[in-house]
A and B are shown apart, each in its own frame.
Chain A
Amino acid sequence: MEAKKGKNQPKRPATGAKKGTTGVMTSLTVCGASKAIIDKARASGISTVFDRAARMKPCPIGVAGLCCKHCAMGPCRVAPELPDGAPTQAGLCGATADTIAARNFARMVAAGAAAHADHARNVAEVFLHAVRGSITDYGVKDVQKLLQLGIDFGLDVERMGIRDIAIAVGERSLEEFGKQAGELVLCKRAPLKRQEIWRAQGLMPRGIDREIVELMHRTHMGVDQDYENLIRQAGRAALADGWGGSMLATELQDVLFGTPVPIVGRINLGVLKKEYVNIIVHGHDPLLSEMIVAASQDQELIAAAKTRGAQGINLAGMCCTASEILLRHGIPVAGNFLQQELAIITGAVDAMVIDVQCEMQSLQQVASCFHTRLITTSPKAKIRGARHIAFNEHNPMDDAREIVSAAIEAFSQRLGTPTIPEATQPMVVGFSCETIAYVLGGAFRASFKPLNDNIIGGRIRGIAGVVGCNNARTTHDAGHLELIKELLKNDVLVLTTGCSAMACGKAGLLSPDTGLTVCGQGLAEVCEAIGIPPVLHMGSCVDNSRILMAASAMVKEGGLGDDIAELPVAGAAPEWMSEKALAIGHYFVASGVYTVFGVTFPTSGSTIVTDHLFGELEHQWGARWDFAHDPHEMAQKMIAHIDKKRKALGIDKARERVLFDMTMRREMD
């Protein structure tokens, strides 16, 4: 089986040993604070992910996507294709490298989509309890957004009371998970042309759970053994994430906790305070952290902290939980994914409270070297050895107080003086889709028009969504920062979420004072006019749905085509590691966004599958995947794509100013 290698064939990632995936990295991190604590850890003999990455190489078959362990006849390790074109091996059942790579890819998408879906389901359940009144610690904070959801769900919002609307929205949201037929409701938010493509390509998701279950079924031994068919269903499950699970989570969280608006925050390990009880909330779920925010401001608990000799209680966030409370309350951020162990190693963290996703099991090992209480809270996510305080959504405040009390207790058991790096950076965050429209035009003229206008006019070349994780196989934060700086220099406005946003925050790119210094003139001019940083922090990784909404808003505003795929935009996850990231990448591609991943690509062992993802998909879905190891190369690919789209839209050349006479005014609709 030989792949067609035409002139336009996209470059695909090489398989096997590769600098950065298995090779030696020039440095572990570009974050000075992290470097200092890594040094401390090594001096103290505490093992971190950085050390383990150096010690343990990734499995060369697995990294190429060619290890199949879907049945007990295996695991079958199918060798990557040989350069001489010799026939590739197959598994015992005959599954080819293409099937295995596609199946592994699809399984990762399914797991990622499931993570977001399960998060969303939890939010929807709590939402419904809250609006029905059976949980009283939460309530509706954003009525406007609730009404919008009501309209999305086809409710007669003019005639219904707020409570009835909220209950109906909660019920309908929950129904989205178990729906068996039809189309996911929020898919209607996409441009009409995009919806048509989904229908025509068999991508339109029916129900969130159904698509994920079906994908799990189809990747079972001996079911779907056509890579194209698998990738398509993976697309459908991914869309059920982006326009389903993730979007529902974002929207319901906004209704419950408020839609983010611009707010100032600080980031990096320096936000920990020596004299204070330091609590870090880490994970992805705002339900608990919202309550801990309240508990940390409770006068009684603050007094209790003071009786233990602390000056007060200092709450900080980590990973996406951090983004949730940063955007809504300005709570400082201690760091991103690869800083979770490091935060504890400062010796200043009295309690680290975790919920779900991206929490390393090593936290318990590291915490045990200090006085730090590692507290798990979700019945879905326990860690052996950690204290478990089950978070009961029906009485969340009690749990939150118990957790804060545990931290206060730990404070007096600190071992020696903490080592807190001085580094912190100020940043401006909170750019929800609605907020972007507001900051562009004010309360009376809020819209995406100025953005589209400046893209059409050329001051802004295009938009990039740079998102995703940290990955210990590549220099911490370097991929994000080098890529983003290159984009900014070329007048590309960057939307960011998750750990990528935090890398930007630490490097000063989220501050309008320092961020604009690295921008091209056109982008700087626009950002200066509006007063925004050139990188807009839109939220946690579940909030990548906000980028989909922003892209749809740009299409609806007009002047940039009829579909997301026509926009001069591109996506990237230069340091991705989680399965959620792959699901996000796949729903971006299925939504029409050209998306480039870094570090490694999970189908690299199959030319055919990779070529399909990197090439054919563009003809079928209007967008494709891509890979670049080097962030500069990644930037160039994204810019080239943006320029291609600009050309197709006819906005690649400077345009004459149009002066209006009466005839032209009469012809306006």
Chain B
Amino acid sequence: MSKIIASAAIRGAYTIAARVEQKYAAVLQQYGPEQSIGFPNTAYFLPVIYAILGIPVTTLGDCQLVFKKARRLLPAPVSQTTHLPYLAPALDAGMATLFYQEIEEALRYLTNPSFYQSGEDVSNGRIWLGAADDVIMRKRGVEFVDGSAPGFASILGAAPDQTTAVRLAQELQVKNLYVFMAGDHNGARFAEQLQQAGVQIGWNTRLVPFGPDVSSAVFAFGFAVRAAMAFGSIQPGDFRNILIYNKDRIFAFVLALGDVTDEWYATAAGAINFGFPVIADTPIPQILPTGICTYEHVVSNVPYDQMVARAIEVRGLKVSVTEVPIPVAYGPAFEGERVRGDDIYLEAGGGRTPMVELSEHKQMSQIEDGKIVVIGPDIPDIPPGSKVPLGLSVAFAGRQMQEDFLPILERQIHHLINYAQGVMHIGQRDIAWLRLSKQAVAKGFTLKDIGAILHTMFHKNFGTIVDKVQITIYTREQDVLDMLTRARDIFRMRDERIAGMTDETEQTFYSCTLCQSFAPAHVCVITPERTGLCGAYNWLDCKAAYEINPTGPNQPIEKGQVLDAVAGSFEGINAFIRQASRNKVQRINIYSIMHDPMTSCGCFECISAFLDKCNGIMTVDRDYTGETPSGMKFTTLAGAVGGGNITPGFIGHSKHYICSRKFLQAEGGIVRIVWMPRHLKEELRERINRQGAALGVNNFADKIADETVGTTQDAILPFLRSVEHPALTMKPMT
């Protein structure tokens, strides 16, 4: 009965409220109201409170207002007879609970700063990762946007045993879902169960241990609300739209494993506000009628072997998983898994042995679909700990196949192989690097299975252009060296062809509206010389994607009449943008930052911003967490730029675009850059210098200030003058 749930949730909310206010009073006494609090590296303060109430909590004193609002939300207990309606008060109590829990976690960050491990990985003895910072949120956000992660499961408590925990986690991983873990059941915790069973946990395997207490579940909501603000461009405080966004676009659910305490009920009531249903393994009451969630609200007593399937159905989520005929689990969740040290059974490439991967176009009659041949020894003839040479040749045939698709297909090899559990793959072409783990081999994985993966997945993902796929794997050194020689010639020819493609030579650009699942007004225009702003999709990718799915998110855009070649204004693009943005954007200049720049979704790799005193621009990537001369950190900049808005003076873009000929051509190109983070400058140094030289400035990288010079305009100006930075003498930007 819903009444039992509502009564418990309201009781739980009171318990949490009392505890947090008590903790708060003690902390306030110790630190004083001016003490700043917050989660690391985020522009969204305490994100749930910020999103729902619009209150930016930055100090202990700020919590008072939140408490005041939260207390007003706490309803009277549910009466046993002639009760008043209880669902709505319970939902309110649930929301108040999340506010209290978020403050409780913020207090923990203040009083016990080393409690949470920062970054994406657990480290010795510290398995709790705490709040996802904005870097993680944006990086992982891309996966939510493009569908490679369709949603997340928020797990409370623990499975009855390790085996069940591992099975549940793996099933969720195979379904590509993120798993956020918090809370305990009788002292047992899901994340610890996984770790004890030897499962890799952390953001890289999508098994994210948020924290040991139920309050840590609030980090999952903090992740979800930021998606609404960052990608959906919904204003903080617009609680209704933020919650509806979550219901419609963030496919999350709660798995309650173990005794559902009052505090769990309270948290679950908070989740239902977001449209996230609760699936429990215990026989708690159910709430089946629809309304706040898309389908059921609480479903209970679900057996473990049906739990994931049931949760997905209740959430209304469609996850298509391709069965790959290999003996290990397979899915994007395993992409970030590492194979190290004693775990390595076999290693190839990475400078240790020669390794190469090559895709080739063959005639239909030349190859046999599904033929996988290993020429040379394969497991078990290769002993543990071996380093072997490896050549991976994939031949494609198909009526729709084009030479231009080969590099795209080849680039897929990396992640397709990496998706297999216990297989680690880095790089591509002749710098590829492969490791197989002992666990994978123990389950029966062989090199031939790599062929099975590629055959299955190429057919699934590229079925409209690929009719036949044949894989040959070489493990004898001479064969690999022969293949290397041949492959390098092909790589060179391909590079030359791509280098020759310019925005002028191609009449058709491509749109990318993958992000519209999250940022409905945003449209990327992708040209040969300007990749998508997430860095993940280039012009050829889009071209192939269009061939594969002619009604998909990548559509051809005929440039049409050139209105302004320098600024990048094209009649065809404007017409397309108007329609694809649902009339929210009228025109853009694809090479300009100051006048009608392109919109930004939220998953951009870098942001450029106009610096008035320097008469130039700065560019910052999302891995840089420090201050910048714009006066804003990346996260704050991102908040201002994202969500499908046009913001003159600011633009989101990929790293790759920085060194493009077309980079901010309207404003003078790359030589306008006066500041960028040092690590980014070093990463791109060679290409920066090349493009700088093309614009007449030699050793341009050395003229760009970085954080070691300063992080304010005033601090870097003397440096810019001393190196005679070209921007200082260029025509004014405004």
A residues sitting closer than 8 Å to B (CB atoms) are 262-264, 426-428, 438-446, 449-451, 453-454, 457, 459, 511-513, 525-526, 528-532, 657-666, 668-669
- A443, B95: Cβ atoms closer than 8 Å: yes
Contact of B89 among A264, A442, A662 (CB under 8 A): A442
Cα A512 to Cα B273 with chains together (Å)? 24
Given the known interface contacts A529-B87, A531-B85, the answer about A659 and B240 at a Cβ–Cβ threshold of 8 Å is: no
Contact of A428 among B52, B78, B82 (CB under 8 A): B82
Cα A529 to Cα B292 with chains together (Å)? 11
Q: In the complex, given contacts A263-B84, A264-B84, what are 5 additional A-B residue pairs having Cβ atoms less than 8 angstroms apart?
A: A443-B92, A445-B292, A457-B289, A529-B2, A662-B147
Given the known interface contacts A453-B290, A668-B248, A668-B249, the answer about A662 and B85 at a Cβ–Cβ threshold of 8 Å is: no
- B91, A441: Cβ atoms closer than 8 Å: yes
Contact of B239 among A444, A511, A662 (CB under 8 A): A444
Cα A87 to Cα B699 with chains together (Å)? 110
> Which of B316-324, B333-341, B384-392 faces chain A?
B316-324
Cα A416 to Cα B584 with chains together (Å)? 79
B83 within 8 A of A: yes
- A440, B318: Cβ atoms closer than 8 Å: no
Cα A457 to Cα B147 with chains together (Å)? 28
Cα A531 to Cα B73 with chains together (Å)? 18
Closest CB of chain A to B659's CB: distance in Å?
A: 31
Cα A441 to Cα B2 with chains together (Å)? 14
Given the known interface contacts A528-B1, A528-B3, A665-B517, the answer about A262 and B85 at a Cβ–Cβ threshold of 8 Å is: yes
Q: For A441, what are the chain B residues with a Cβ–Cβ distance below 8 Å?
A: 88, 91, 291-292
Q: For A511, what are the chain B residues with a Cβ–Cβ distance below 8 Å?
A: 82
Given the known interface contacts A529-B297, A657-B295, A662-B150, the answer about A439 and B87 at a Cβ–Cβ threshold of 8 Å is: yes
Contact of A262 among B81, B84, B249, B312 (CB under 8 A): B84
B393 within 8 A of A: no
Cα A439 to Cα B91 with chains together (Å)? 10
Closest CB of chain B to A334's CB: distance in Å?
A: 19
- B318, A660: Cβ atoms closer than 8 Å: yes
- A666, B52: Cβ atoms closer than 8 Å: no
Closest CB of chain A to B310's CB: distance in Å?
A: 12
Q: For B312, what are the chain A residues with a Cβ–Cβ distance below 8 Å?
A: 659
B620 within 8 A of A: no
Q: For B674, what are the chain A residues with a Cβ–Cβ distance below 8 Å?
A: none
B159 within 8 A of A: no
B405 within 8 A of A: no
Q: For B552, what are the chain A residues with a Cβ–Cβ distance below 8 Å?
A: 663
Residue of B nearest to A263 (CB): B84
B651 within 8 A of A: no
- B88, A658: Cβ atoms closer than 8 Å: no
**Interface size range of chain B in the complex:** 35 or more
Given the known interface contacts A444-B91, A454-B290, the answer about A668 and B520 at a Cβ–Cβ threshold of 8 Å is: yes
Q: Mark B259-279, 1 if CB is under 8 A from A, else 0.
A: 000000000000001000000
A-B residue pairs in contact (CB < 8 Å), sample of 21: A264-B79, A426-B82, A428-B85, A438-B88, A440-B87, A442-B87, A443-B73, A443-B92, A512-B83, A528-B2, A528-B3, A529-B87, A529-B297, A531-B3, A531-B85, A657-B295, A659-B316, A662-B150, A662-B517, A665-B248, A668-B520
- A450, B2: Cβ atoms closer than 8 Å: no
Contact of A445 among B84, B86, B240 (CB under 8 A): B240
- B88, A525: Cβ atoms closer than 8 Å: no
B514 within 8 A of A: yes
Residue of B nearest to A448 (CB): B291
Closest CB of chain A to B135's CB: distance in Å?
A: 24
Residue of B nearest to A439 (CB): B85
Cα A93 to Cα B111 with chains together (Å)? 95
B243 within 8 A of A: yes
Closest CB of chain B to A224's CB: distance in Å?
A: 48
Cα A658 to Cα B239 with chains together (Å)? 26
Closest CB of chain B to A654's CB: distance in Å?
A: 13
Given the known interface contacts A439-B85, A444-B95, A529-B287, the answer about A659 and B516 at a Cβ–Cβ threshold of 8 Å is: no
B313 within 8 A of A: yes
B553 within 8 A of A: yes
Contact of B316 among A264, A440, A512, A660 (CB under 8 A): A660
B582 within 8 A of A: yes
- A457, B88: Cβ atoms closer than 8 Å: no
B288 within 8 A of A: yes
Given the known interface contacts A442-B88, A443-B88, A445-B243, the answer about A513 and B81 at a Cβ–Cβ threshold of 8 Å is: yes
B6 within 8 A of A: yes
B600 within 8 A of A: no
B251 within 8 A of A: yes
Cα A520 to Cα B585 with chains together (Å)? 51
Closest CB of chain B to A623's CB: distance in Å?
A: 27
- B291, A453: Cβ atoms closer than 8 Å: yes
- A530, B87: Cβ atoms closer than 8 Å: yes
Q: For A528, what are the chain B residues with a Cβ–Cβ distance below 8 Å?
A: 1-3
- B91, A658: Cβ atoms closer than 8 Å: no
Q: Mark B164-200, 1 if CB is under 8 A from A, else 0.
A: 0000000000000000000000000000000000000
Residue of B nearest to A668 (CB): B248
Residues from 271 to 308 in B contacting A, C-beta threshold 8 Å: 273, 287-292, 295, 297
Q: For A662, what are the chain B residues with a Cβ–Cβ distance below 8 Å?
A: 146-147, 150, 517
B513 within 8 A of A: yes
- A658, B291: Cβ atoms closer than 8 Å: no
Cα A305 to Cα B582 with chains together (Å)? 70
Q: For B292, what are the chain A residues with a Cβ–Cβ distance below 8 Å?
A: 441-442, 445, 450
Cα A256 to Cα B192 with chains together (Å)? 58
Cα A658 to Cα B248 with chains together (Å)? 13
- B95, A442: Cβ atoms closer than 8 Å: yes
- A660, B251: Cβ atoms closer than 8 Å: yes
- A445, B273: Cβ atoms closer than 8 Å: yes
Q: For A513, what are the chain B residues with a Cβ–Cβ distance below 8 Å?
A: 81-83
Residue of B nearest to A528 (CB): B2
Closest CB of chain B to A346's CB: distance in Å?
A: 24
Cα A444 to Cα B291 with chains together (Å)? 13
Residue of A nearest to B295 (CB): A657
Cα A357 to Cα B240 with chains together (Å)? 43
- A657, B84: Cβ atoms closer than 8 Å: no
Q: For A454, what are the chain B residues with a Cβ–Cβ distance below 8 Å?
A: 289-291
Closest CB of chain A to B622's CB: distance in Å?
A: 23
- B52, A444: Cβ atoms closer than 8 Å: yes
Cα A663 to Cα B513 with chains together (Å)? 10
Cα A438 to Cα B520 with chains together (Å)? 28
Cα A511 to Cα B312 with chains together (Å)? 36
Closest CB of chain A to B441's CB: distance in Å?
A: 35
- A442, B92: Cβ atoms closer than 8 Å: yes
Given the known interface contacts A442-B92, A445-B240, A659-B318, the answer about A526 and B289 at a Cβ–Cβ threshold of 8 Å is: yes
Q: Mark B1-22, 1 if CB is under 8 A from A, else 0.
A: 1110010000000000000000
Residue of B nearest to A262 (CB): B84
Contact of A449 among B85, B88, B291 (CB under 8 A): B291
Closest CB of chain A to B524's CB: distance in Å?
A: 13
Q: Mark B82-104, 1 if CB is under 8 A from A, else 0.
A: 11111111111001000000000
Cα A454 to Cα B288 with chains together (Å)? 11
- A531, B553: Cβ atoms closer than 8 Å: no
Closest CB of chain B to A520's CB: distance in Å?
A: 13
Residue of A nearest to B244 (CB): A445
Cα A199 to Cα B476 with chains together (Å)? 86
- A442, B91: Cβ atoms closer than 8 Å: yes
Cα A513 to Cα B292 with chains together (Å)? 24
Most chain B C-beta atoms within 10 Å of own C-beta, residue among A454, A513, A663 = A663
Q: For B318, what are the chain A residues with a Cβ–Cβ distance below 8 Å?
A: 659-661, 664
Q: Report the 4 A-B pairs with minimum CB-CB distance, sorted nearest first.
A: A450-B291, A442-B91, A662-B147, A531-B86
Residue of B nearest to A261 (CB): B84
Q: For B297, what are the chain A residues with a Cβ–Cβ distance below 8 Å?
A: 529
Q: For B91, what are the chain A residues with a Cβ–Cβ distance below 8 Å?
A: 441-445
- B516, A530: Cβ atoms closer than 8 Å: no
Cα A262 to Cα B86 with chains together (Å)? 10
Q: For A449, what are the chain B residues with a Cβ–Cβ distance below 8 Å?
A: 291
Q: For A438, what are the chain B residues with a Cβ–Cβ distance below 8 Å?
A: 88
Cα A532 to Cα B288 with chains together (Å)? 15
